[in-house]
Amino acid sequence: MNQNSLFAYRESEKNTGENRRVAVYRYMLAQGGYGATDDEIINTLGIKHASMAGTRLQLMKLGAVTKTDNRRLTEAGNPADVYVAIPGVSVRKAPPKTERDHMETAARKKIKAMSDDELRSFVDQGSDDSGVPDEDAFFDLFGR
């Protein structure tokens, strides 16, 4: 990807998902088999950290990006997954929401509305010795 393309993204409307998806995908295509980490993309394109994971997940759902077995260190020295782009995929439209996406959104809203005591009770009620909530208890909360 040439510097003009990078500058164009930095100066574009960064807040649109389509612009982010297209810019990240083009950047990753330019990296070829070497791929890129989220950290590398964030630092190169100037995308906010909070937006990057969602953008990459959308690209993965579209089949435009895949995770490799490789890891590289971030600027902070932490290991990070490396992703590569798959050529020829249209990334202009966001992937459609699945039923699970809608259920997770509803679950987050309900959990957010709980008091600390309600949340503690919910977590304690549905967990085993590992401290991980039981899936059935979690979905029972939402009337499954």
| Domain residue limits, the chain | 3-85, 99-140
pLDDT for 1: 46
Helix (H, G, I), strand (E, B) or coil at 64: coil
Residue 14: is its pLDDT beyond 70? Answer: no
Residue 134 — φ and ψ, nearest 5°? -70, 135
pLDDT recorded at residue 17: 84
3-85, CATH topology level: Arc Repressor Mutant, subunit A (1.10.10)
Angle at 88 between CA 91 and CA 29, to 5 degrees: 80
d(CA 13, CA 23): 11
Q: What element of type H or E holds 82? A: strand 79-85
Look at 52 and 133; give whichever has higher pLDDT.
52
**Banded model confidence at residue 142, pLDDT cuts 50, 70, 90:** low
